[in-house]
């Protein structure tokens, strides 16, 4: 393993530790799919988790850690908020969703 690769891995680990824990895709999808108040296209649990994991992998591959932090903040919001608040837009971030 090269020095650059070890440095990159160490940086990711440090970033993950510094950012603290965030809810997993499973936790976020379970919450959202269980919220009757949240209007969304009906997707399966697997589809939700796959989309969530792809989003995370995309920003990691781009090394866009600023946007990845926003994704993690959104996940934490979803985990922490009540379904009604989520439905009213409490976790909506216009930097992540420009439409």
More confident residue, 4 or 67: 67
In the 8-state DSSP scheme, what is residue 95?
A: T
pLDDT score recorded for residue 5: 43
Residues 35-50: tens digit of each pLDDT: 999 987 778 999 999 9
pLDDT score recorded for residue 97: 78
- Cα–Cα distance measured from residue 28 to residue 45, given in angstroms and rounded to the nearest whole number: 10
DSSP string covering 57-90:
HHHHHTT-HHHHHHHHHHHHHHHHS-HHHHHTTT
Q: How confident is the prediction for the chain on average, in pLDDT?
A: 82
CA distances from 80 to 9, 10, 32, 83, 87 (A): 30, 30, 12, 9, 13
Average pLDDT score over residue span 57-78: 95
The pTM of the full predicted model, rounded to 2 decimals, is 0.75
Average pLDDT score over residue span 10-35: 72
């Amino acid at each position: 393993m090269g020095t650059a690769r070890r440095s990159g891995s160490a940086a990711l680990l440090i970033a993950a530790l510094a950012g603290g824990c965030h809810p997993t895709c499973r936790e976020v999808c379970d919450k959202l799919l269980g919220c009757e108040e949240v209007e969304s296209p009906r997707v399966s649990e697997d589809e939700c988790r796959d989309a969530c994991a792809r989003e995370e992998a995309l920003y990691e591959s781009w090394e866009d850690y600023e946007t990845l932090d926003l994704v993690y903040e959104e996940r934490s919001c979803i985990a922490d908020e009540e379904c009604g608040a989520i439905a009213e837009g409490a976790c909506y971030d216009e930097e992540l969703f420009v439409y």
